[in-house]
Structures are given as structure tokens and as C-alpha cells.
Structure 1
Amino acid sequence: MSLDPAYLTRMISAHGPFTRVVVARAQGSTPREEGAAMLVWPDRIVGTIGGGALELAAITAARAGRSGFEAVPLGPAMGQCCGGAVTLGYEAWDSARIAQVQGDWHARALGRTLGRTEAMPLAVTRALARARDRGAVPPMMIEGWLIERVAPPPLPLWIWGAGHVGRALVNVMQPLPDLAIHWADSHAERFPDTIPEGITPLIAENPATLASLAPRHAHHLVLTYSHALDLDLCHRLLSHGFGALGLIGSATKWARFRKRLAALGHTDAQILRIACPIGDPSLGKHPQAIALSVASALVREQNAVQTASERGMRAG
């Protein structure tokens, strides 16, 4: 997981300053991977470093004001059967700290206040230079410093429709990192009383008129209450441009839509960029089943893109 200043800013705006706990090193069998993080306040937590005894101890330590690194052998220290070891980094964050995050990589010493005369260790300087010049991914920990990649802008995901499937999708997608979710429908009453944190609701009498507001690389999931509205959205999005477009529907609906979209002037190649149905049909039509399968496909896609990017960086 990358360090995301925009997300951290939203969390501070919503709940105030916090302590961030990050898995800076993972060796052997561990609950979570390097980079997994959680945010800890006196009255709440967001995210997870794996749950169980390790997470409970980390929450307690964060609330007690711990800073810096802590090496934890999971078996001897926690009685966990994983058998591995982790090093956790504890860091207090506020708006001033977020303002220090610049560029593609962010390196800082944990557990002490940096004075003006304290220089970055040469090993850290060299690791950052290799990352920026040759794409070599640095270790997260070097000589008491934590190095993290700064997250690129989140993927815009637009969910069209606040019915059963739309609500299930939002509830499943909302906790996932690196997504900026917009949720559109025709009336405020169609949304739940409480919109999940971080979701941007959009309301228009004809939601299809909002399609032009979406970034041209956005991903879209079209699942409104109306076939006519679904068709209008597909037509407008094909004309506007998109990164991916999924449409809920049966084989009969999709065959009808292909004919109508062709009559509206779209080519077969354009129309076939639409994925219909969405999700894995073998899991059934329950809203949560659809949401889980769509979310898992999106996560696999994002992980594949990130893995390919990291391989390209190493090869470069």
C-alpha cells in the first residue's frame, strides 16, 4: 500500500490527527504484507495490520504515544502461530506532517524530531536516487528511516444507481484503497440515510447528464433502476470516453443494447468494450455476491497493473 496524502488529509479533516502504524518489514509468515497500515485515534481505528493480538498491542501502543520502530517476533512475543516477524513503524500525523510529503517517494526518520543539522543518511540518499533515476524499489527501512512510495492519484470509480446492487457495491468498495468513488442517482431518497465515508454522492433528475463530468479514464458500473437510463448512460459514456465500463444485465438485455447502441452510431469495437454482465455469474445474482465478484476483479486488475509497473521499474 502506498502513502496517500489525499486520503490522510481526508482522515484528519474528518477525525483529527492520528498515529499511523505501518508494517515496515515482514519476514516469514505474517498477517499482512509490508506497507499495510492502520490509523489510530483515541476512539477509533481505520485500516488493519492483520488483526488479533498483534493489532491489539499496536493499537494500545499507538494510543500510549509510541513512536519509531518496534520489532515483533510473532511467536515468542504474541503467541501467534504465524511463525514470522514484523517491524512496525509508529508515526504521528497532522496537517503539517502531510505537507512535508513531496514527490514520488517520501523518506523520514521515525521516533525522533529532525533538527536542521541532522542529515539524511547516505544509504537513504542513494536508495532514493536509485528509485528516482533507475526505478529500483528501495527497502522500506534503512538506518532508522522509513521510505514509502507516494500514492498516485486514486482510480475514479463511478457507480450509477443506488439500488440493492449499487448499495452492495459501495459497501464492498468503500474500504478498498486507491479508489475515488462517485455514486449517482436521480433522487436523494434513493440513497441510504448515511453515505459511507469518502463516497461522493451525485444527484440529477437525469443522471446520464452527469456522464460528461467523469474523467475519461474513470471506471463505470451502470446498474440503475431503468433500462432506458442504462442505455442513455452507455451511449453517453461511449461518446465521452472511459477506462472501463460494466453494465448489469442478462444476455437478452445485452443483445438488445448492442443493436440500439449500433443504431446510435457506435462501432462494434466500441460497444464490445462494455462488459455485460458484471461480476461472475457462477456466484449468483445476490447483490452482495455481485459486489464481491466485481470488487475482486477490480483488485486483481489493480494488483496486476502495480506488479507490472514494479517489474518494469526493476528492469529499467
Structure 2
Amino acid sequence: MTERAAHDSLPEIALDWHRAGRGAALATVIETWGSAPRQAGSQLAISGEGEIMGSVSGGCVEGAVVTEALAALEDRRSRILTFGVSDETAFAVGLACGGTIRVLVEPVGEGAEALPEAMLADLVAARAARQPVAMAVTPEGWQRALVAPGAEAAVDTRFRSDKSGMEEDGRFIAIHNPPLRLIVVGAVHIAQPLLQMARLCGYDGTLIDPRSAFGSAARFPGEVIVEDWPDEALEALAPDGRTAIVTLTHDPKLDDPAIRVALRSGGFYLGCLGSTRTHAKRVDRLRAEGFSDAEIARIHAPVGMDIGAKTPAEIAVSVMAQITAVLRKG
């Protein structure tokens, strides 16, 4: 698994701080109204020494949250804070108008109202294993539980939409989905802007191409490049429901092995470069290999939304737009 960025590793950071004896609290946005700076589920980790990582606003309430977090580490009690962000303050942090946010502050470790270390460790372990998990917190009584997909229909809806928030029963559900991944087969020109755009959209990118002259670090600086044959590489990467796959080589010897693995994987998106005529030939080959029409229908080809794209960057825009539409709209 690609290492999470620091801003997305706040449970891990809080656990490390706690285990190092420095103390740790987690602050989480649980509700917003109006033009709130950060969405529900956004977090801020605070150490007992006043160090912070992450954000629950555009900077307008962090100071007050840190003060309350340090107090929570003293009295070992969780609390919910409500902040109204004025229009003037909102403008200073880049918003058109103000809003209201509610923030849950939880000290880690001992205490009847605290977030237990063992539960936080289980959450961190699930995240490390790319297992989706939700943290459910009931402020009335401070009951907590980790919820897996399939356990509750309402929570499953939140997993699909990637949306944390309050339920009607008074629980706050914090969704922890694995990072999104984009696997690109073919180190062609389109792959260069596509991987860059995917990263901006929050995806961990992996490029597969056994041709070392194509998939070189000089052409793709900073990218994860796998030089195995595409089917072997995909099987090792084990695409899941948070993974999009795009084939770009335009060469059946490379694309077809990847497509065969992708069609029977858990990936949520498969897009393949090629004209309508090229795709028709691809469909014939897949049918001859025993793939059903339902399986073949999973392929988005020609890849990308029809926006009249011509250049590699424009095609990359169309591909990311289509991936986003499939992810968010199904």
C-alpha cells in the first residue's frame, strides 16, 4: 500500500503520539451548516505538547479546539464544541460566507469517555490493510464501535458515498475508506497527465509497463512504476472496490492480459483506449475467451467522456471525469 499522506494519517499520528507517552486527542468535524470550511469527518490530531496535524476549519477555530483538546487530556472527558464562523472570519480563510460547525474532541487512552487505545489501534490496523471501516460514536453515553461494510444499510450508504455524518439515532459515523487507487497500463503520453491529475483527485497511482524504455523514471518522475507483465502486475496489486484501471497501450498483447484480470477483479472502473472499431475486435476476443456480455459491459470504451478531447491532457481530463462519475454516481 502506498503510504498515506500526513494529512490523511491522523488516526495513525494520534496513536503514535499516545504510545510515545506524549498524549493525544482527536478532533473531528461531525456536523456543518452554511459555508463551513471543512466537511464532516475532517480531523485534527493534537498532542499533549500542543503539536497539531490536520485541520477542522480553514484556521479560524483551530486555536480554540487545541485549547479544549488539552483540557480533555487533563480531565479524560470527550466533548462536543459548536462554533459559528462569521462572514468576516470566513472571508479571511477564503469562503464567501460564514457557517457553523460542531467538533467532537476525544482524548485517546484511559477514561470512561475517552477513545480507547485498543479501538484506535484496530482502526489503524484496518486502514493499513485497506479494509473499509466506520467509527460509530454515540455522544449520549459515549458508546463507540467499529462497523464493517455489510453490517448496517445506513452505514453502507455512507461507505459508498464516502460521506461521514450524523445519523437520526444520534450516532456520528466517521467513514474510513481505503485510499483510492488508479492503475494505468501503458506508459504512453496520455499516462503522464492522467497520473498527475489522479493524484490531485486523491488517487494513489501505479503505472504498469514491461517496456523499460517507456516506463522510465525520466518520463514519469516520482511515479510508482511496475515492469512486470500487466496480468501478473494486476494480480499482485489486487484491485478492490476503491480501484480504477485504465489500459492505454493500444496493443492487445499488453492490454488484453490486463483486461482479463481487471474484468474479474473488484475494481470499480475499467476504461480502455481505442476506437469503436478497435473495441469491437476486443469484444470478439473476450467472448472467444469465455467472458460474458455482462462482464464485457463493465468496460468503458472508447475510454473517457465524449468532450471532444484531442491532446493527451484533454484526454486525461475526459478519463478522470468519467472515473469520477462512475465513483460518485455508480
Q: Matched residues in 2 for 1:86 and 1:265: separation? A: 54
Runs of 5+ consecutive residues of structure 2 not aligned to the other structure:
19-23, 70-78, 109-116, 125-132, 159-163
Partner of 2:134: 104
1:74 corresponds to 2:86 = yes
1:70–1:89 Cα contact (<8 Å) kept:
no
- The residue type paired with residue 192 of structure 2 is R
2:307–2:318 Cα contact (<8 Å) kept:
no
Partner of 1:297: 322
1:84 corresponds to 2:63 = no
Name which of 177, 190, 210 aligns with 2:233. Answer: 210
2:231–2:257 Cα contact (<8 Å) kept:
yes
- The residue type paired with residue 210 of structure 1 is A
With over 3 angstroms needed to count, the CA separation of the structure-2 counterparts of 1:27 and 1:240, relative to structure 1, is closer
Runs of 5+ consecutive residues of structure 1 not aligned to the other structure:
109-119, 306-316
Q: CA deviation at 1:150?
A: 3.8
| Residue correspondence of structure 1 range 42-191 to structure 2 within 5 A | 55-57=58-60, 67=69, 69=81, 71-79=83-91, 81-88=96-103, 98-99=120-121, 101=123, 104-107=134-137, 121-122=140-141, 124-125=142-143, 135=154, 140=166, 147-154=172-179, 156-177=181-202, 181-186=205-210, 187=212, 189=216
With over 3 angstroms needed to count, the CA separation of the structure-2 counterparts of 1:165 and 1:98, relative to structure 1, is farther
- The residue type paired with residue 183 of structure 1 is L
Query: 1:77-102 CA deviation, whole Å, 9 max, x = no partner?
Result: 44454242234567899xx6942648
- The residue type paired with residue 231 of structure 1 is D
1:8–1:98 Cα contact (<8 Å) kept:
no
Query: 1:11-45 CA deviation, whole Å, 9 max, x = no partner?
Result: 859xx999976543311233543234578999998
Q: Matched residues in 2 for 1:55 and 1:146: separation? A: 25
With over 3 angstroms needed to count, the CA separation of the structure-2 counterparts of 1:293 and 1:87, relative to structure 1, is farther
With over 3 angstroms needed to count, the CA separation of the structure-2 counterparts of 1:193 and 1:262, relative to structure 1, is same
SS of 2:283's equivalent?
helix
- The residue type paired with residue 85 of structure 1 is T
Q: TM-score, normalised by structure 2?
A: 0.59
Query: 1:94-148 CA deviation, whole Å, 9 max, x = no partner?
Result: xx6942648632549xxxxxxxxxxx742x439999xx7784889659xxx9944
Q: CA deviation at 1:222?
A: 0.7
Q: Matched residues in 2 for 1:43 and 1:252: separation? A: 58
Q: TM-score, normalised by structure 1?
A: 0.61
1:26 corresponds to 2:32 = yes
Q: Matched residues in 2 for 1:19 and 1:59: separation? A: 13
Structure with the largest fraction of helix: 1
Partner of 1:288: 313
Partner of 1:192: 220
- The residue type paired with residue 276 of structure 1 is A
Q: Matched residues in 1 for 2:281 and 2:52: separation? A: 49
Q: Which has the higher contact order (CA 8 A, sep 6+)?
A: 1
Identity of aligned residues (%): 21
| Residue correspondence of structure 1 range 207-286 to structure 2 within 5 A | 207-215=230-238, 217=240, 218-224=243-249, 226-238=251-263, 243-286=268-311
1:8 corresponds to 2:32 = no
Q: CA deviation at 1:247?
A: 0.1
Q: CA deviation at 1:176?
A: 3.9
- The residue type paired with residue 184 of structure 1 is I
1:31–1:82 Cα contact (<8 Å) kept:
no
Q: CA deviation at 1:301?
A: 3.3
1:211–1:240 Cα contact (<8 Å) kept:
no
Partner of 1:111: none
Q: CA deviation at 1:237?
A: 3.8
Q: Matched residues in 2 for 1:58 and 1:163: separation? A: 46
